[in-house]
Each structure stands twice: as C-alpha cells, then as structure tokens.
Chains A and B, each alone.
Chain A
Amino acid sequence: MIDFVVAHGLVARSDLPIPQWLFGWAAALVLVVSFVGLAVLWPEPKLEREWWRPLPRPLSRLVASRALDAACGAIGVGLLVLVVYSGLRGVQTSAANFAPTFVYVIFWLGLVLLSVLFGDVFKAFNPWRAIGRAVAFAARLASRGDLPAPLDYPPRLGRWPAALGLLLFAALELVVADGDKPQNVAIATLVYSALTFVAMALYGVEAWIARGEAFSVYFNLFSRIGPLERRGGELGLRQPLSGLAKLEPLPGTVALLAVMIGSVTFDGAAESPLWTGIAPDIATLFRDLGFSPAHALEAAFGLGLLAAVLLVFALYRLGVEGARSVGGGFSGERLAGAFVHSLVPIALAYVAAHYFTLLLFQGQALAFLVSDPLGDGSDLFGTAGRTIDYGLIGANATWYWQVGFVVAGHVAALTLAHDRALALYDDAKLGVRSQYWMLAVMVGFTSLALWLLSQANA
C-alpha cells in the first residue's frame, strides 16, 4: 500500500459554494443534456469513418524513423535497468529512492497523459519490446537465416493476459503491505520482465506486445483517445476518439477495462470510512482462518480490490443487459463487445481525477531523484536539493479540475456509445433508446467517481 503523502488531496475543501454531492447532481445533469444533444445533433455515425492525414513529411518521417525508434528503445532499456539497480542497491525508503516514484508516478500515471497527447509513445520506449527485437535481430544474424516462426497467439487468450498483469500490478500497489518498498518494486520488475521475455519468445514480440503485455495494452488504449497515430513509417492525424471506435473487442477486453476502473475505484474507496470500518472485520475473518495479522489485512485488501473490479464489471453488464432488453436482437456478449470502447475515456477520467495531485506533486520528485537515484546523497546533475512545491494548486481548484475530468470523460464515453449505437442498430430511434441504459451506467460511474473523490478528505 503506497504511502506517498500527497496521494489524493491535502486539505478539506470547506469553502466550496455548494455541497460536494451537489456537484454530482450537476454532473449527472450535464450528462443528460449531452445525451439529448447527441440524439438531436449527431444523427449518423462519424467516428467509425476512416479519416487519417499524414503530418508534413519531414516531421512525420523524423518522428517515425527507425533511428528515433532505436534511441527511444535504448532510453527505455536504460530506465528499466535504473529502476532495477536503484531498487536493489539504493536506500529502502520509497520517497528517497528512484524506483517507486518512477514506476508508480512517472511511468504509471505520466505515460497515460503522454499517450493521450502524443499517441502510443510507450511502444517506442517499451524496454521489453526493444530487447526482444534486438535479441531477434542478433539471433537472425547468428543463425544466418530466418528464425523458426513463433507459435500462433491463441485467439481465446485475447487481452486476458493484459487484464491479469494489470490486476497483479494493482495488487502490488494497493494490496501488498510493502508494495512500494524499492527492493520489491525491483524484484517485481525482474519477474515481470522474465515472464514477458518468455511470452515474446513463444508468441513473437509484436503479437505479445499488441495483446498480452499489460502496459503496452494499457497505454495503447489511452493513446486511442488522442488525435495522433502512426501508420507504417508515417505519423498522422485522426479524429479524436476515432482510434477507440476501431478497437477490436477481443476476449478479456471488458475484464481489462473493469480492472482499470476497478483498481482506481478501490484505491479511492480504501480511504472511505465505509472501507476503514469493515476492513478490520474482514481481516479478522482471515485471521480466524490462520492468516498472520499482516497477511490477513493484505487478504482483506485483496478481496476489496476484487470486489471493486466486480462492481465495475456488474455495472457495465447492467447497462448492456438494459440495452439488450430494449430490442434489436443482439446478444449480451455482442453488445458488451460493441460498447466496451466507451469505457476507456471513463478509465481515463478516473485516473486523471484520482491521481491528478499525485502526478502534479510527486512527479516533481523526479527532479531530485534523477540526481540521487539511490538515495545515498549523490548529486549527479546538481538537482538533488530540489523540493516539492505543494503550493502549485489549491484544494478548491483541484476539486474543480477533478469534476471537470470526470464530466469530460463521461461525455466522451456517451459520444462513443451513441456513435456505435447509430452504426449498430438499423432503427436510429431504437439505437437511441438502447442508450438510455448506457446513460444510466455513465451517470452511475460519474456518481461513483465523485463520491470516491469526496472520500479522500472524509
């Protein structure tokens, strides 16, 4: 359970003009108005259309060049090595060691922002992909010919390995008592790297990166929100959100999104009086089963994480079953796959709203951690004396930004679902009626998000 002090807010927001819960009502109203606006002003699908224009050639070629790809890959490998080295050899204080802040803040949160703004940047920096490709290249040279073809990636696996990978990462961050201990971060990185190399050797580098490697799949989903997309050797522009409309609903995609939203939900709920009230009782149950006190609490938190993921899954399935009940002759599975892409902006809204201050404040720690990655007093770049400026943003401004993220994310989700309904249903009116239930889901996720944020200072 990560112990950064600035996790979700610093002080109570006592001077808001209206009660916090009323923001939830206002947000729900914005969604209803947006829904009506979409029904009236958006009569045919627009996001499913093919539209991509390359950027001016010199810029496009430079950004998508092999040399830059190789340089980014080398940087990614260097950072991976630094995380492992600092985690194993540095001081075992999470705030003073490079590894925890880099993994849980810069990588896990910062890359989400970069992916939305600049496209799938992690693909270029992915250290496992870079190493896999380099090894394959060297092996081809050494064998003086083509290597044996990898196994076919089993279609039924879909995005299930990525969902499992993200769930385990969330468990390390939110469930394991020493999950932010630098040594544990380094060991987890080594174990994950080894598993990734084995999977890439079996199924091929690109096949595993595209579907199975948890972080590649995670950041790729967020990159589909933004307007930048690389095709072949060129970088171009597309309509924002249209990358999501082209998301293939592979098996495990709903589970993956449920993990993405559910893990943030649990992180927020874990601060609520509701959870702090029942967690000790659950831990006692595990102690009665023979668990040690520390492991009993971890088991309780693990159960809470799973419950949050299942809650998100159930809420989505409620919307899907409601949409199915309206008519149209689609199965629940078909509808669940058809609308799953609309959960991605919700996942982004949850991450942005919940971790906004963590990224803003703890992200500044990178300035001194790069100079002293091991926490041993070194000052490589002369920035080891830097401190975190907690006055960057006030508590009320933080709340307004958080509400803005939540509302914007859910309006984007409504837009995606509306556009897909128009493409899916022959009868446009039936398509809109099916979306009443998806609107209920969006209002539900909005209410949940704002309640969770309010719990940070409860």
Chain B
Amino acid sequence: MPPIAHAGHWITSIAYFVPVLGFIGWLIVTQWRERRKGNG
C-alpha cells in the first residue's frame, strides 16, 4: 500500500482531475434537475 507520507503526491495527482470531476458532477446535477422539472 502507498504510504500516507506520500499524501502530498496523491493530492497533486487528484488536482489534475478536479476539472473533469467537477464537470461531470455539474452534468449529473443539471440532468437530474431537468428530469425532476419534467416530471413535476
């Protein structure tokens, strides 16, 4: 298992993927809201 001391490295790696994670989150929320609107 990777040691916890390397957390800084892991956090930097995750930073690369923040835009895509944020974008996918926004897409899911938007589509969910639209569906709720459509059902209501």
- The chain A residues found within 8 Å of chain B, CB to CB, are 19, 21, 24-25, 28-29, 273-274, 277, 322, 325-326, 436-437, 439-440, 443-444, 447-448, 450-451, 454, 458
A444 to B17, alpha carbons, bound, how many Å? 7
A458 to B12, alpha carbons, bound, how many Å? 11
Residues on the B chain within 8 Å of A454, using CB = 16
Interface status of B13 (Cβ within 8 A of chain A)? yes
Q: Which residue of B lies closest to A277 (CB)?
A: B2
Q: Is the CB of B16 within 8 A of A24?
A: yes
- The chain B residues found within 8 Å of chain A, CB to CB, are 1-2, 6, 9, 12-13, 15-20, 23-24, 27, 31
Residues on the A chain within 8 Å of B1, using CB = 277
Q: Which residue of A lies closest to B3 (CB)?
A: A277
Q: Which residue of B lies closest to A451 (CB)?
A: B16
Q: Chain B: interface secondary structure? A: helix
Q: Can you give 16 contacting A-B residue pairs, CB < 8 Å?
A: A24-B16, A24-B19, A25-B18, A28-B20, A28-B23, A274-B13, A326-B31, A440-B23, A443-B23, A444-B17, A444-B24, A447-B17, A447-B20, A448-B16, A451-B16, A454-B16
A436 to B12, alpha carbons, bound, how many Å? 26
Residues on the A chain within 8 Å of B17, using CB = 444, 447-448, 451
Q: How many A-B Cβ pairs are below 8 Å?
A: 49
Shortest CB–CB separation between residue A318 and chain B, in angstroms? 8
A443 to B16, alpha carbons, bound, how many Å? 10
Q: Is the CB of B13 within 8 A of A447?
A: no
Apart from A277-B2, A444-B20, 9 more pairs, CB < 8 Å: A21-B16, A25-B18, A28-B19, A28-B23, A440-B20, A443-B20, A451-B13, A451-B16, A454-B16
Residues on the A chain within 8 Å of B18, using CB = 25
Q: Is the CB of B15 within 8 A of A21?
A: yes
A436-B27, A440-B27 are known contacts. Are A447 and B16 too (CB-CB below 8 A)? Answer: yes
Shortest CB–CB separation between residue B35 and chain A, in angstroms? 9
